[in-house]
Structure 1
Amino acid sequence: MAEAQISAAPNSEERKLSDIFLSGWNLYDELEVSELPFNGGEFQNKVKTAMGHFEQATTIVNQVGMFSPNELIDEVSTDSLPFMLMPYFLGKLCTKIHNPSCVIEPLELGETYFKDHLQRCQEYDLCEAPKGKLQQDNKTDAALQKSEQRALIEAAYNRNDKIAQYRKMKEIDEYMARMRNAVKNKTADEETRREFFLKYLDKSIIDAQQELSTLTSMKEMAKMRLARMQAGEAVNDPVSFGNPPTGQQNHAHGHGHSHGPHRPEPNKPKPMQPFIIARNAAQKAVFGLGYPSVPVMTVDEFYQQRVDEGIFPDEEKTAKINQEKAIAAALDPNEQEDEERAVVELQVEDDDPEYLARMRRMDEYKDVVRRGDGNRHNRS
């Protein structure tokens, strides 16, 4: 790696590219575990300082042409690997910007950085290319009208992918927590440093894909919020970064309604009147509301009572069972056979007593059918 140097301070003190990157990286790690208020001045100043370091380092990397789409990841030197993470760091720092007057701009900037990072990783064959819009728009109507079974299987696959990504991220975080200080202080050998940054790139790819999905949703919500503000409606949604000024609140009537335009509240359904649950009309006529020993309850209370007693199924448990069945249906039959075969082999190796006893009973059983036995009904 070229030892690029620039004048980074007013006193003309020259700093190396690695020092600039390390300063930004230390600030980023500090912000990740900081307990300072998100909208505080100190926190936001650190965000701007860290972004300044990474932007300065990015300029140098682009000037020297450090990365090329014609290279493979094995051709990149260990000293150059950390600089592949700079777009990812900049995207993560954009998500920490607090600017109530301009909400959409940081979201779009972070989206650009994450896309740039994923594109560079794709050029080095570290991740697969995302599906283009043309592939999604060219789907036929028949393909769009998928059956419920197909949608259920896809949901199960997506869930399995998310679980696998979560486990991988957890393993990488544990490894990085052990090796971070040694890598930053350059006390680790080159092979360990290379493995560290390759794992960091794997983590950044998964995190960038998740952040892109989140930023897209937040950007749509922010645009809806701005459109509602321009229409003169009161805004109260998750994208709002602060309470509206008190001057914008209208004076209220004696019972608390405002003069300004407001969205009508939905009509709340009337609560059900309690009634006696009886077996038939005759019992209902006899055991009326005046009968003191018969409890009066609603259907919901009666159902919840039966759930607590273990008679009726619980909705959460039923949903969990249905989800497990969907995941089991989505699994490949060959994989299920392999898992069953592996369980049998493990029992044989461990000399499982239950398995051995069952196999011995099968060996000792003899299905003896004498001549003439069988179904002799209506036979002369």
Structure 2
Amino acid sequence: MANSNEPEETNLLTVFNQGLDLYNSICNSSEHTNSSTVQSNVKKAMSLFEQATHLVSYAGIFSTNEGIEEVATNDLQYLLLPALLGSLSLKLTNGERKEIIDVAEIYYKDFMSRCNDYGLSNYVFNEKKEQKEPQNEFDKIAVSVNTRASKIQRYKEQKELKSKLANLKTNMENEHADEEIKRDYFLTMIKSFIHEAVDELNSIEMEKPLLEYMATVKKDEKKPEPRRPITPLKPIIITKDAVQKAVFGAGYPSLPTMTVQEFYDKRIKDGIFPDPSKQPTGPLSLQQSALAGLDLNSEEKEAEEKEKNLENDDPEYIQRMRRMDEYKDEHRRGWGNRANRS
């Protein structure tokens, strides 16, 4: 049986190491997380770790009925798979953020649950925490102090673990490293990821209400009113009569046409031309008078006025005309013109 499983175990170790090398290169990269290169590597690493997870599940390496001392040294590193997948999930920039943190939360909680089962941690999940509100200000201060103290303590422990991990990694590179060094290295790595998982789960808990609020605001936002379609500018061909309109309409169906009468009626409707059916009020311009059929010739008006005065025997008008005749009799034409003086 051992011989039949050996190729499978070798394949698992190869896939896991490839994913771990890619994960370390991502963490040490100076490129932005949202760069195409980093995002491509994140997806590749996740694919490798997912493949390794399937192989671990198929081989049945872990069991909730055993202690950590019963797990083979080389198998300890596979406990990191959900933590590594959770860390990589949070580095994704494409997709809905809510879905990303939900997936990362599942991975980290699975990792912490397994660590609890093997006695490597005593993490209390939110579902099991007692929801007790502080009774007074002193209780609130005590909770705040304890929370801050636990964060400081985790930070110190994390720093020490990283330093220890760096030293153990140097020893691991020695081909003569014994099993004790390997086991210590893997357990230290697991403890380091436990601290990271706790911090990330706390961050996720704080981010989730914010994302829910933003989703609510986005949902309640009124959609902007659709802009009224702008009538496209079209040429208008003026035709002389309805016959030409029918001809042009048939020849150029895409161009609207109108007769002269339709054009004139449209001008009246737009207020550019006067409406002949309405009596004009106030003084008229020459154009309005012409369009209305009125004649403003001053000479004709004067002749009409003279004829009217004669018919009515206006004494003032007759007296004025007599004085004009006497003046003409006494003064010959051209009198007073310096050019005609002798």
Distance in 2 (CA, whole Å) between partners of 1:185 and 1:17 is 22
Which residue does the alignment assign to 2:18?
Answer: 23
How much has 1:217 moved relative to structure 2? 2.1
Residue 133, structure 1, aligned to residue 133, structure 2:
no
Maintained 8 Å contact 2:32/2:38: yes
Cα deviation, residue 227, structure 1: 2.3
Alignment of 1:192-341 (within 5 A): 192-232=181-221
Q: Write the distance in 1 (CA, Å) between the matches of 2:127 and 2:214.
A: 26
Structure 1 partner of 2:73: 78
Question: CA 1:185/1:40 → structure 2, altered by over 3 Å: closer, same or farther?
Answer: farther
8 Å CA contact retained: 1:87, 1:114: yes
User: What is the match of residue 167 of structure 1?
Assistant: 156
Shift of 1:174: 1.1
Query: Residues of 2 paired with 1:116 and 1:184: CA distance?
Result: 30
State the 1:94 CA deviation.
Answer: 0.5
User: Amino acid of the residue matched to residue 112 of structure 1?
Assistant: I
Judging changes above 3 Å, is the alpha-carbon distance between structure 1 residues 207 and 49 closer, same or farther for their aligned structure 2 residues?
same
The alpha carbon displacement at 1:153 in A equals 2.1
2:96 equivalent among 98, 102, 107 = 102
State how far apart, in whole Å, the 1-side matches of 2:79 and 2:87 are: 14
Alignment-derived partner of residue 234 in structure 2: none
Give the aligned partner of residue 158 of structure 1: 147
| Equivalent position amino acid for 1:103 in 2 | R
Q: 1:121 aligns with which of 96, 104, 115?
A: 115
| Larger radius of gyration between Structure 1 and Structure 2 | 2
Please state which structure has a larger fraction of its residues in helix.
2
Instruction: Evaluate the alpha carbon distance shift between residue 181 and residue 97 of structure 1 in structure 2; reply closer, same or farther with a 3 A threshold.
Output: farther
What are the superposed Cα offsets for residues 95-138 of structure 1, whole Å, 9 maximum, x if unpaired? 10011x4221111110000000000001101111415536524x
Name 2:8's counterpart in structure 1: 5
Partner residue, 2:53: 58
Q: Which amino acid aligns with 1:115?
A: K
Identify if the C-alpha distance between structure 1 residues 66 and 211 changes in structure 2 by more than 3 Å, giving closer, same or farther: same
CA contact (8 A) 1:4 1:60 kept: no
- Structure 1 contact 90–113 (Cα < 8 Å) conserved: yes
Structure 2 letter corresponding to 1:59: H
Greater RCO (Cα-Cα under 8 Å, separation 6 or more): 1
What are the superposed Cα offsets for residues 331-368 of structure 1, whole Å, 9 maximum, x if unpaired?
xxxxxxxxxxxxxxxxxxxxxxxxxxxxxxxxxxxxxx
Determine what percentage of the aligned residue pairs are the same residue: 30
Give the letter aligned to residue 141 of structure 2. Answer: L
Structure 1 CA distance, aligned partners of 2:171 and 2:15? 18
Q: Give structure 2 stretches of 5+ with no counterpart.
A: 228-342
**Mapping of 1:346-365 within 5 angstroms?**
none
Q: CA deviation at 1:50?
A: 0.4
Q: Is 1:67 paired with 2:62?
A: yes
Could you tell me which residue of structure 2 aligns to residue 37 of structure 1?
32
Please tell me whether residue 149 in structure 1 is matched to residue 152 in structure 2.
no
How far does residue 65 in structure 1 lie from its aligned partner after superposition? Answer: 0.5
Unpaired runs of at least 5, structure 1: 7-14, 235-246, 251-380
Q: Which amino acid aligns with 1:39?
A: N
2:173 & 2:46 partners in 1: Cα distance? Answer: 19
Counterpart position of 1:377: none
Q: Is the 8 A contact 1:3 1:17 kept in 2?
A: no
Q: What displacement does 1:3 show? A: 3.1
Secondary structure in 2 matching 1:122: helix
TM-score, normalization by structure 1: 0.54
Which whole-Å deviations, capped at 9, do the CAs of 1:258-287 have from their partners, x for residues lacking one?
xxxxxxxxxxxxxxxxxxxxxxxxxxxxxx
RMSD: 2.6
CA displacement at 1:232 relative to structure 2: 2.5
**1:188 deviation in Å?**
2.4
Match of 1:287 in 2: none
Q: Which moved more, 1:49-58 or 1:207-216?
A: 207-216
After TM superposition, give the deviation of residue 216 of structure 1 in Å: 2.2
Normalised TM-score (structure 2): 0.60
Distance change in 2, residues 1:184/1:68 (3 Å): farther
How many Å separate the matches in 2 of 1:82 and 1:186?
18
